[in-house]
Structure 1
């Protein structure tokens, strides 16, 4: 795991990198892509929650009472930027099934590359919770920036952003808009093309998950 400029953390675990390579391959099937996205979400969730605060609670094992560590504070919130974010969300919930979930509906206008919001639903008391926002791609960062702005408007103040791939242009835009939100990614790719897609990237994550065009 390596940190860049104190704001972006690249999750370079060998299993993450190996699975990402298979996902990038255009010959990988829809079923394979979906399965790998869920698996890689498990591994990334492990890293992004590494520093959660713990407290000791009293429990009884079959042998004796003891004080044992448990996650402190209110339940986590995983915020999925629809629709592709749900591929990461499913894997995250496998590890933290008690987490609350927010859904943020954003799609990118292919002419302007600007985000268009169509849905927002989040748990209460966001100001008291750690929010982990998930979306496979940080490309132009327009959708991610707008989604986090919506969460902040609802009181969220402890936010992390998790993505599979990031473009340098997206990182710059995102960090300028939200310097208080750390980014976790599996790879920083080379650049965006004229249509706003990450290169070399892996194509459109939502289309590859759901078999759409």
Structure 2
């Protein structure tokens, strides 16, 4: 399902794993594995519109025409929860570069705070995919993309597992036309800025710090 620049990835395996992610009884180990599985399944859709160029390849039989990616891919997991999606995407795109960025949400103001600046990475002439399991208020996503744009990134997309309608609206308002891929759009945010029904804090649940 597509709506403007937002793609909702509908797949039976994703639906199954997402249901298990939501279950409060799911252990941290299971939680990480489920996110890894979802990331692999999402990667094909997230990269469906990557630019390619014609090339020639020598098979064991004869020379043939082929297609190859036109530019490098950079994955930017937002620490720490974004780490849970990284290996899944790398399984699909092993040649990708990984550039981490550390932003956390202030639980009082709900605003993002930078605690790990992105190291020097050349984002020019590349495709950048930001990874974060949750899109709640979108404050972290908006700030991450702003930082990446200041560093020269032009072709940016955002991939998450669950989003709140409020977060999608805010992200689209801040970055019109930004490609966003999501496995599920939930009902709303609660008064504390958490997605409902959601799955809780993805980072805490993945790393056992609940």
* TM more than 0.5: yes
Which of 121, 133, 136 aligns to 2:133? It is: 136
Which of 44, 47, 55 aligns to 1:46? It is: 44
Q: Is the 8 A contact 1:115 1:146 kept in 2?
A: yes
Q: Note if 1:198 corresponds to 2:188.
A: no
Aligned to 1:31: 29
Q: Note if 1:181 corresponds to 2:189.
A: no
Partner Cα separation in structure 1 for residue 70 and residue 142 of structure 2: 28
Aligned to 2:2: 3
Aligned to 1:107: 104
For residues 55-204 of structure 1, the aligned pairs below 5 Å read 55-73=53-71, 75-122=72-119, 124-204=121-201
Partner Cα separation in structure 1 for residue 121 and residue 202 of structure 2: 29
- Structure 2, unaligned stretches of length 5 or more? none
Aligned-pair Cα RMSD in Å? 1.3
Q: Is the 8 A contact 2:99 2:121 kept in 1?
A: no
Bigger Cα displacement from structure 2, 192-201 vs 113-122: 113-122
Partner Cα separation in structure 2 for residue 122 and residue 157 of structure 1: 17
Q: Is the 8 A contact 1:141 1:174 kept in 2?
A: yes
Partner Cα separation in structure 2 for residue 92 and residue 122 of structure 1: 20
- TM-score, normalised via structure 2 length: 0.95
- 1:116–1:28: structure 2 CA closer, same or farther, 3 Å change rule? same
Aligned-pair distance for 1:63?
2.4
Aligned to 1:21: 19
Partner Cα separation in structure 2 for residue 122 and residue 49 of structure 1: 24
Aligned-pair distance for 1:40?
0.5
Aligned-pair distance for 1:138?
0.4
Aligned-pair distance for 1:156?
1.1
Number of residue equivalences? 210
Aligned-pair distance for 1:123?
5.4
Q: Is the 8 A contact 2:74 2:127 kept in 1?
A: yes
